Amino acid sequence: MLALAGRAASDLPSLGRSPGALRVDAGQVFAVVADAFAGGGEAPVHMRLATRYRRAAAADDLRCVLVLLADHELNASTFAARVAVSTGASLAAGTLAALATLGGPLHGRASTEVAALVDDIEAEGPIPGRLRAWLGEGRAVPGFGHRLYPHGDVRAAALLDRLAVPPAFAEFRAAAEDLVGEAPNIDFALAALRAAHDLPSTAPMEIFALARSVGWLAHMLEQIETGSIIRPRARYTGSIPPVT
C-alpha cells in the first residue's frame, strides 16, 4: 500500500491519456505490486513468490492459484477500482482503492478465518464433533458455499484437486460438507494451500492481492474507455414527514 501510495500521489490522471500510455502505466503499476509481494527480479511472478517463501516445490501450485484468482467479475474490490478511475484518477490510485477494499474480512482476508478455525477445532478434539458444536452455537462455517456457485466453487475445486491437502483440512472439509451441505470455496482452498506448503500466514492475502491486481488493471482500462463516471443514485426509503 505504501508503494502504491507513492505512485498515486504523483502519477498523471487517467483522464485524456492515450490507450498506449495507459497500458504502459498498467505494466508499471503491476510491477510495483509484484515487487512488493514477490520481490524484484526477471523471473515469472510465481517463481519469485516461491523463492521469497523458500518453497520451490510450491511454484506450480502458486502459478495455478494466481491464474484462478486473476479476475472474478464485479466483486467489491474490482468495483472500487472502476469507481476510482471513472473519476479520472490514476491507475495506481484505483489499484490502491481496490487493495484497501480487498483488506476486509469478508473479502481477501476470509481465508485467514478458515485457517484459524481449522487450527482451533483440531486442537480441541475430533473435528466432526467440534464442528457440530460450532454450528450448534449458531455460527456459520467460513470457507464453504458461494452464492455464485450453487454447485461448488470451480476455482476451489481446481486448486484442491492438485494439492496434497493436509489431513486436518481434509477431515474438516468432509465434516463441513456433511454438516452444512456446501462445497468448499476459494477461501478454504487458499487456507489449504498455505498449510500444504507451510507458507507464511500472510501468504493467502498476498497471493490474492497479487493475482487480482491483474484483473483490477484490466477492468480499469476498460472503464476508462467508456469515458463515463460511475455515479449510482440513492432512493430514500425512510418515513415521509407529515405535511404541516
Task: State yes or no: is 72 an active-site residue.
Answer: no
Q: How far apart are CA 99 and CA 209, in angstroms?
A: 7
Q: Which residues pair with 144 in a beta bridge?
A: 184
Average pLDDT of span 192-216: 95
Q: How many CA atoms lie within 13 A of 78 on its CB side?
A: 19
Q: What is the CATH code of the structural domain delimited by 110-197?
A: 1.10.230.10
- CATH 1.10.580.10 residue spans of the chain: 2-107+201-226
Q: Kindly report, residue by residue over 3-58, the tens digit of the pLDDT.
A: 899 999 999 999 999 999 999 999 999 999 999 999 999 999 999 999 999 999 99
Per annotation, catalytic residue among 25, 61, 153, 187: 187
Catalytic-role residue among 146, 153, 197, 219: 146
Separation of alpha carbons 4 and 154, rounded Å: 31
How far, in Å, are 13, 15, 24 from residue 21 at the CA level?
11, 11, 5
Beta bridge partners of 184: 144
User: Which residue ranges does the chain devote to CATH 1.10.230.10?
Assistant: 110-197
For 2-107+201-226, CATH gives 1.10.580.10
- All 3 cell numbers of residue 17? 491519456
Active site residue 153: no
Report yes or no on whether pTM surpasses 0.85: yes
Percent of the chain at pLDDT exceeding 70: 100
